[in-house]
Amino acid sequence: MHLSLLLLALSSHAVGSAIQIPLVLQSDTTAPVTSIGKELVSSEALQGDIDLKNLEDRANHLFELAKLSVDDYGHPTRVIGSKGHLATIDYIYSTIASLGEYYTISNQSFEAVVGDVFESRLVIGDQVPKSASPMSLTPPTSDKQPVYGPLVLVENDGCDQADYPSHIAGAIAFIRRGTCTFGDKSALAGKAGAVAAVIYNNAKGSLSGTLGEPAEYHVATFGLSSEDSEPYIVDLQRGKVVNASAYIDSIVEKINTTNIIAQSKEGDAENCVMLGGHSDSVVEGPGINDDGSGSLTLLEVATQLTKYRVNNCVRFAWWAGEEEGLLGSDYYVAMLSAEENWKIRLFMDYDMLASPNYANQVYNATNEVNPTGSEELRDLYVEFYESHGQNYTFIPFDGRSDYDAFIKHGIPGGGIAAGAEGVKTKEEAEMFGGAVGKWFDPCYHQLCDTVDNLNFTAWELNTKLVAHSVATYAISFQGFPERSSVESKVLDQTASMWHGPKLVM
Ligand SMILES: *[C@@H]1O[C@H](CO)[C@@H](O)[C@H](O)[C@H]1NC(C)=O
Ligand SMILES: *[C@@H]1O[C@H](CO)[C@@H](O)[C@H](O)[C@H]1NC(C)=O
Ligand SMILES: *[C@@H]1O[C@H](CO)[C@@H](O)[C@H](O)[C@H]1NC(C)=O
Ligand SMILES: *[C@@H]1O[C@H](CO)[C@@H](O)[C@H](O)[C@H]1NC(C)=O
Ligand SMILES: *[C@@H]1O[C@H](CO)[C@@H](O)[C@H](O)[C@H]1NC(C)=O
Ligand SMILES: *[C@@H]1O[C@H](CO)[C@@H](O)[C@H](O)[C@H]1NC(C)=O
C-alpha cells in the first residue's frame, strides 16, 4: 500500500503533473516526492535566504489589512472577529497555498469569547478613584445602569464562598487580590448576591486584568490600586459605612475564529518540530510588531523552506485569540489525542520579534520545571546569539504566550522575544543599545504599533534565529531528549499570575 502510493506519486512526477497525493515518507532511503533534486536544508542556507525586503513588504501589506477594520472600529486593528483579522487569516492561508504541494494546510475553527467595555465608572464615598479599571471580559452592571450599595469587605482572599458574609447580597464586594483568579472571585461575589465587585491590589500599583472565560455568576468587576483602596479598608475595618456606585457598559460575546496550521508533507511525521506565532492583535491597534512580526517571520521562513528537503516534519501554526487569553493554542493542544501530542517533539514560540527598543530575550525555560528538552532549546538560542556576537537576557517563562498549553501537556517549549512593556535598564542599554528607562516596545498594545514601530535590525536577526531553529530540528533530533510524558511536570504553573498577556490573578 505504502509502496504503491509512492510509485504512483513518483510516476506522476515523472510526467510533470502536480502531485495531489499527500504522502508521508518515513525512510531516508526513499526519494522525497515534492523535493526531488532538492538539497537537504541547512541552517546556513536557510538563514542566507532571509531577505529583509520581503519582511518589509509583508509588514506594509499587513498594515493595509489592519486598515480594513477602520469602518467598524474607527482605527486599524486585527482583533479577532474584525475584517482586519479575517483578512490576515486569508493572507496566511493563501500565501501557504501558493507554495504548491509542499505543505498540508488546515483551518481549525473554534468559538472564542470577545469583550469590549464602552464606558465605566466607579464611585466610592464621594470620590472617583483614579486607578479604577474595569476587568477585561467583565459583564455589564445590571441593565447597563449604575448600581448602588455599601462596600463590603470580603474575608481572606475571597477564594471560598464562606469568605463572603450574608450581608453582601445587594452590596459591592471589596476583595483582596491573591490565591485564586479574578474570575473566581467575581463568580463567588456574584453567587453571594453582590451587585458588583472591586478587587484591590495586594502589591503596589494599579490592577488591571481579565476575568477570563465567562462564568455563570460573574458580576461587573473593577480592579483598584492598593494606594487607592487603603483608606477604605481602614474605614471598613473600623465599622464605618462606605457607600459606592459602580457602572459598566460592556458586551461579552462568542464568535468563531480560526487557527491556521501548515505541515510539511515530507519529513518524518512521527517527529515534528512545531513553531507558532499569533495572527491576531489587540483591539487597540494594528499589532504589526505584536505579533505581525512573528507571524510574518513564520510565513517567510515557511516560504523559503520549500527550496529544501527536510528529514523531520515541520509544522507551522498561526494562532487566533492569543490576546484574549491564548485561546487558539489552548484549543489546539486540548484537541490533540495522546498519539498526536506525542509526535510533537518541541514547540517554539515567536511572539514580538522586532520591538523598537529591543533586547534579545530568551525564555528561561529550564528542564527543572518544564518538560525535558526545553532547556536544550533555550541553549540553542543562547548559542545562536553568542555565535552572532550578540548579547541576550533570560526572561521568565511564565505563561504569557502560546507555549503555555504545550508545556502543560508535556511538550518541551521555549522561544524568544524582543520585548514588550518592560523597562530597559542601564545594563540592557549597554548590551543592546536603545533608550534607558523606556519600554522595549513603547507602542505595546497601542494604536502606534505600526510598521514604523519595527526595528528591522532586530527583526532580521531574529528571523535568522527562527530559520536556524527550524533547520536544526528539520535535519535531526539527534541529541535532543525523547518525549517522556503527555502530562505536565510543571508544578508551579497552576499558580502563574499570567495566562496570556493579561493578569488573571
Ligand atoms: C480555510 O480558511 C481560508 C482563509 O479564510 C479559506 O480561504 C479557505 O477556503 C478555508 N478552507 C477550508 C477547507 O475551510
Ligand atoms: C449609605 O446609603 C444608605 C442607603 O441609601 C443611606 O441610608 C446611608 O445614609 C448612606 N451612608 C453613608 C455613610 O453615606
Ligand atoms: C461557530 O460555528 C459552528 C459551526 O459552523 C456553529 O455551529 C456555531 O453556531 C458558530 N458559533 C458562533 C458563535 O457563531
Ligand atoms: C532560570 O531558571 C532557573 C530555574 O528554573 C533559575 O534557577 C535561574 O535563576 C533562572 N535564571 C534567570 C536568569 O532568571
Ligand atoms: C554586549 O554587552 C557589553 C556590555 O555588557 C557591551 O560592551 C558590548 O558592546 C555588547 N555587545 C554588542 C554586540 O552589543
Ligand atoms: C534598531 O535598534 C538599534 C539598537 O537600539 C539602533 O541602533 C538602530 O538604529 C535601530 N534601527 C531601526 C531601523 O530602528
Domain count, the chain: 2
Q: Are residues 201 and 271 in the same domain?
A: no
Domain region containing 158: 114-253
Q: Please tell me whether residues 328 and 214 are part of one structural domain.
A: no
Q: Tell me whether residue 500 is in a domain.
A: no
CA of 457 to the centre of ligand 6 (A): 6
Sole residue written with cell 499569533 = 278
- From CA 423, how far away is CA 440, in angstroms rounded? 6
Q: Which of 196, 228, 253 is the last residue in one of the domains?
A: 253
Verify whether ligand 6 is closer than 6 Å to residue 462 (CB atom).
Answer: no
Ligand 5 in reach of 425 Cβ (< 6 A): no
Please indicate whether residue 456, judged by its CB atom, sits closer than 6 Å to ligand 6.
Answer: yes
Report d(CA 160, CA 134) in Å as an integer.
Answer: 23
> Could you tell me which residues come within 8 angstroms of residue 219 by beta carbon, excluding any fewer than 6 positions away?
139, 173, 186, 189, 190, 194, 195, 196, 197
Residue 61 lies in a domain: yes
Residues 226 and 281 in one domain: no
In-domain check, residue 56: yes
Q: Which of 284, 322, 375, 460 is catalytic?
A: 322
CATH number for 420: 3.40.630.10
Neighbouring C-beta atoms of residue 148, cutoff 10 Å: 15
Q: Are 320 and 277 part of one and the same domain? A: yes
Write out pLDDT tens, residues 339-370: 999 999 999 999 999 999 999 999 999 999 99
pLDDT at 256: 97
Any idea how long the chain is? Answer: 505
- Tell me, yes or no, whether 176 and 55 share the same domain: no
Considering the domain architecture, whether residues 97 and 158 belong to the same structural domain is answered as no
Please, what is the Cα angle at 470 between 466 and 472, to 5 degrees? 115
Ligand 4 atom with the shortest distance to the CA of 366? 5
| 383 membership: H or E segment, kind and range | helix 374-387
Supply the residue whose CA is at minimum distance from atom 10 of ligand 2.
243
pLDDT(189) > 50: yes
Known catalytic residue at 322: yes
Task: Answer yes or no: is 274 within a domain.
Answer: yes
Residues 249 and 270 in one domain: no
pLDDT score for 367: 95
Does residue 408 share a domain with residue 332?
yes
Q: What's the pLDDT at 495?
A: 54
SS3 370: coil
Please give the distance, rounded to the nearest whole angstrom, from the Cα atom of residue 13 to the centre of ligand 1: 27
The last residue of a domain, from among 220, 253, 286:
253
| Cα 443 to ligand 6 centroid, rounded to whole Å | 15
Is there a single domain that holds both residue 286 and residue 389? yes
**Which of ligand 4's atoms lies nearest the C-alpha of 396?**
14
| Residue 264 CB neighbours (<10 A) | 26
Q: Which atom of ligand 5 is nearest to the CA of 391?
A: 1
Mean pLDDT taken over the chain: 92
* Cα–Cα distance, 199 to 209 (Å, whole number): 10
Q: Do 283 and 247 belong together in one domain? A: no
Q: What residues flank ligand 3, with Cβ below 6 Å?
A: 111, 254-256
Last residue of a domain, one of 192, 223, 253: 253
Digit-coded pLDDT (tens) for 289-304: 999 999 999 999 999 9
* 432 CA distance to ligand 5 middle (Å): 7
Same domain (yes/no): 132, 89: no
